[in-house]
Amino acid sequence: MERRDIYITGFDLNRLTELLGVWQTFKGSKSTSIYLEGLSEELDRAHIVAPKDIPPDVVTMNSRVRLSDASKEEDLIYTLVFPRDADAEAGKISILAPIGTAILGYKVGDIIEWPVPLEIRKVKIEEVLYQPEAAGDFHL
């Protein structure tokens, strides 16, 4: 699996670091810890930029994205959210879900792979439908 550069805002980094700190304090379930460890690894390798400088085609927190899944020949539309806001039926996926951690910081055109039981899942970021920073919504 190729690991491309990823970009996140300092604002997202602070909030996600706080989420990791809470987890370390309370030591959640083993399955949750695997996802948090993955998130921590992604944050460690990310390029940090100011919210006003993030390119508009990069997936940030609260971005709404259209992904294509070639293996299922379907498009998926998700909003990347914090765990408390996750709602699968509404298309809101948690940053702690494998696909959530996988797409954070990537940009339109990138193909992302991550392991799931029995296979490697692969999606392409087709479009960022909404990005808070590009819309001037720096508080989200």
CATH of the domain at 15: 3.10.50.30
pLDDT of residue 120 exceeding 70: yes
Residues 68-94 pLDDT 10s? 987 788 899 999 999 999 999 999 999
Q: Is 140 a member of any domain?
A: no
Q: Is 137 a member of any domain?
A: no
The beta strands (E) that lie in the chain are given as 7-9, 47-49, 64-69, 74-81, 92-94, 111-116, 119-130
CA 123 – CA 3 distance, rounded (Å):
14
Kindly state the average pLDDT of the residues 7-18.
Answer: 92
Of 40, 42, 74, residue with least CA distance to 59: 42
Residues 6+ apart with CB under 8 A from 63: 79, 80, 128, 130, 131, 132
What's the pTM value of the predicted model, to 2 decimals? 0.86
Q: Work out how many domains the chain is built from and give that number.
A: 1
Residues 33-58 pLDDT 10s? 666 777 888 888 899 999 999 999 99
